[in-house]
Structure 1
Amino acid sequence: MARPEPKRHTEVERARAVRGQSRRRSLDPMVAERVEQALARLRDDGRLAGERGRRLSVRVDPGLVAAAAERIGTENPTDIIESALALLASPDPFVHWLLTTGDRLPEDFELAI
């Protein structure tokens, strides 16, 4: 008798799982939403492979890992690294706009009220 294939989780499901944990334990409730949006942008751009197939082995300062774990709301090293990489690979477009415009609106900007 053949064994059933184990269910593979998508990035969105993993991001939602991280978000759920983050909202329970994170000091910063915006972190999980930012991670989920970053993963969604990367997925929409076709930059994600759809599975956790790459294995990394790194040495990292324990304080850095602890701080990231606290912000993300999980102790799972895979989720910590995946979240950090997603935020680095797909930064918030508003932050990019704000930094590149010198914190100023264009001269012809009109507020649509």
Structure 2
Amino acid sequence: MTSSLGDQLSALLGGDTLGPAGPDQGRGKSKGEIHDESLPDGVHGEVAAIIKKMAVDEVKSLGLSTPLADYGFDRLTVVELAIRCEQELGVRIEDEDIASFVKLGDVVDYIAARRG
């Protein structure tokens, strides 16, 4: 009997281990990154993916003018957002600048300017 390792794993786990997109899904993505076709491109999409992971409720708007409070973020959660952006996007965010993050666009603009 000849079968691939993927087939064997699938049989052991009781399902398709590759998912609907096949073996190339997730290639080139960083650890923990959300692959979501509805996310915008670039820094906007990268920050939006982090927000979607952190938000308590379903995210309805990912517009740059959306206040972070609309995602249920308070001051402490915004600090956590900054830390996650530093870790996942590799951009240093100064502590004193975090207070300026009021809207999604504030975070996106800050990160884009430092990657520049």
**TM > 0.5 between the two?**
no
TM-score after normalising by structure 2 = 0.27
- Flag the structure with higher helix content: 1
